[in-house]
Structures are given as C-alpha cells and as structure tokens.
Amino acid sequence: MGADLEQYAEPAAEARQSLVRAIVAEGGLSDPAWRAAFEEVPRHLFVPYYFVVRGGTYERLWREDPDPVRRSQWLRGAYTDGPLATRVRDGELISSSSQPSLMARMLEELGIQDGHSVLEIGAGTGYNAALLAHRLGDDLVTTVDVDPEITESARTHLAAAGYHPAVITGDGARGCPERAPFDRIIATCTLASVPFDWLPQCRPGARILAPLFTGLIALRVSDGSRGRTAEGNFLRTSAYFVPLRGGGHAPEGRTGGLPRRAAENELFRFLLTLTAGSLDPHEALSLWERERRPQRDRFGVTVSGHHQWAWLDDPEGPYAWPLGRPAG
C-alpha cells in the first residue's frame, strides 16, 4: 500500500516549525539564512525509513507502512531533535542522519558567506547537502561518500526535495580534487586524523570543521613559511558520528586500573583518546588533574608539512601528541 506524499505536507510543515523553535530556544539558528533553510528543507523526504532500537534490535519505521499509526510515528520521529539510524548492515550502523541541532551548530560554525564553495564529507541521506544547497545554491555544494548505495539514495532524496548539488562516489579522505578549490570543508563522520589530501584542495583562509574523536575540530587553512597548514581548537561541545570508512579508526584509551571517577568522565576519556599511544593512561590522569580537568576547547590540532599533532593550550607548548601517520 503506497502512501501519498501530499498527505504529509501540512503535518510535516508543522513538525518542522516545532523543531526549529526548539533549536532556537536552545540558542541555535541565530543566522536567519540557516533558520530559513531548516524551516523550508523537508527532512522527512530524506528519511523515507529509519531504524529505532527496541528490545536490543533495530526495528524499521517507514513511510510506506500499511499501519497509519506507525506511519504517524515515522513522521514524528523524522522531526525529533535526535540522530536517526538510516543504514544498518549485519547489525552494525553504517550511516545516519545527524541530530538537527548539532547540524545547525556545525553549519553556523562554518562561517559560510555567499559565494563560498563547500565540500561535505559523508553524504548520508543528503539532508545536510540540501541545507547547504538552500543556503548557497546547487553549484557551490559537493558531497562525497564512498558507498554507491548511499550516494544514489542521497541523489534521489535531494531531487525529490528540489536540490541538485554534486553528489560524488569516492573516498572522502581524498576529498574531491576535480571540484576544488573549496572555501569550506565539513565532515559528518568521525575521523582518526585530518586527511592530508584536504589541505591542497582548500583556498587560503578556508575553514575545516570535522568530528575528530568525540569532539569537533575547527581548523583555519593558511599558507606560510612552512607551506600549507591548518590549525585550530576543538569546540566545547561533544560529537559522536559514524566513523569515516577507509579513514582508520580512532584509538581508544585504556581505562583499566584508573579511578572510576576518571574512567567514566567524558572529558577525561576524550583526553585518553587524544593521547592514546603517546601517554600512559596514568600519566594522562596526572596531566588532566594538574591542568584542572580541561574542557575540549583548550585542546587543538595543527596540520603542517607531513605531520599533524594535538596539543593543550599552545601548538608549540609542552603538551603535544602526534596524530595519524605522516603524509605519504
């Protein structure tokens, strides 16, 4: 039994307005251009089905369900301020639609201006690319994903909503050189390190915003005596995304033998992950306590030449740890 999309137009518009009001009430969408995008781009067209966890297993809610009650649950869920699991393979989550309020925060942090060219890493459902295309126009938006099934469905969803940015099937860690240069790069998947291939595809002054470990790193790209570099701090907020496939996995710091108050603290676990392979967990604990349990925004990352490193407070200071593998 097919479901006519027109029947969802009015309730979807009301749900969309309610979602926007909730995000605004929490301090988000202060930029009128982004508020308009969230008010007008129909998220439900990008999630014709998604999965919820019930009884320890994934259960599908979908637009074509013959049960009107479950169809109503699907529509309400599409406009909740939470992430939606959109692709599950062998019990493992491989793609999702991010929490709208976090998406709004990331888009505003990009500092986009009219005329900017944007590369998105991780096409997902296509919803984030639609928000970008609403703000900038189709020609200035490129979204990349390694999975052809994901890019094909994203392209279909985008077309249904009236948007036609460039949707490319490829390795996001390599960027998209044929569409470069870019003024902004945004990733919607977790990285273990910043891909070196991104920097040559950026214009000087470009901004990169990406989930790194469980934080969001904001980098400014510049040319200097050391060549092309990118440097910046983490935002204070936490961020949990599906990992970039093919981009390596973030290390996990060991917590065995550590006091429970530290092992269960999200900020300390962030430091453990950031310094995994460089600091013994007990050394990390001593540093954390000595530095008064630093928030994420005291940490940063520098990418320069063939190397990159994380640091506390100062990129040239005493607390610095290598990330990833050298370029090449």
Range of the domain at 181: 5-224
- pLDDT tens digits, one per residue of 150-181: 999 999 999 999 999 999 999 999 999 999 99
Tell whether 239 is covered by a domain: no
Provide mean pLDDT across the span 263-287. 92
Confidence of residue 240 (pLDDT cuts 50, 70, 90): confident
Angstrom distances, CA of residue 54 to CA of 27, 59, 79: 32, 6, 19
Confidence of residue 255 (pLDDT cuts 50, 70, 90): low
Write down the pLDDT at residue 3. 46
Cβ-contact 104, 214 below 8 angstroms: no
Tell whether 9 is covered by a domain: yes
Decide: residue 50, CB within 10 A, 0-12 exposed, 13-18 middle, 19+ buried: buried
Of 115-129, 247-261, 266-280, give the lowest mean pLDDT range: 247-261
Instruction: Tell which residue, 234, 304, 243, 242, has the closest CA to residue 270.
Output: 234
User: Is 95 annotated in the active site?
Assistant: yes
Provide mean pLDDT across the span 208-227. 93
Write down the pLDDT at residue 2. 41
Model confidence at 257: pLDDT above 80:
no
Cβ-contact 324, 308 below 8 angstroms: yes
Residue 79 or 87, more confident = 79
Write down the pLDDT at residue 328. 56
Tell whether 48 is covered by a domain: yes
- pLDDT tens digits, one per residue of 185-201: 999 999 999 999 999 99
Decide: residue 249, CB within 10 A, 0-12 exposed, 13-18 middle, 19+ buried: exposed
Q: How far is CA 310 from the centre of its chain?
A: 19
Tell whether 10 is covered by a domain: yes
Confidence of residue 16 (pLDDT cuts 50, 70, 90): very high
Model confidence at 88: pLDDT above 90:
no
Average pLDDT, the chain: 92
Write down the pLDDT at residue 1. 36
Instruction: Tell which residue, 135, 127, 143, has the closest CA to residue 44.
Output: 127
Provide mean pLDDT across the span 281-306. 95
Tell whether 302 is covered by a domain: no
> Annotated catalytic residue: which of 18, 30, 72, 95?
95
DSSP for 150-202, written as a single string: HHHHHHHHHHHHT---EEEES-GGG--GGG--EEEEEE-SBBSS--GGGGGGE
List the CATH number of the domain containing 69. Answer: 3.40.50.150
Tell whether 190 is covered by a domain: yes
Q: What is the dihedral of CA 187, 251, 314, 110, to 10 degrees?
A: 10
Name every residue whose Cβ is closer than 8 Å to that of residue 18 and which is 6 or more positions away in sequence. 79
Model confidence at 14: pLDDT above 90:
yes
Instruction: Find tokens 């998604």 and name the residue.
Output: 50
Instruction: Find tokens 């979908």 and name the residue.
Output: 62
**Cα distance between residue 129 and residue 138, in whole Å:** 9
Angstrom distances, CA of residue 230 to CA of 189, 217, 239: 19, 11, 21
**Cα distance between residue 66 and residue 207, in whole Å:** 46
Count of the separate structural domains present in the chain: 1
Tell whether 248 is covered by a domain: no
Tell whether 305 is covered by a domain: no
- pLDDT tens digits, one per residue of 32-59: 999 999 999 999 999 999 999 888 888 8
Model confidence at 292: pLDDT above 70:
yes
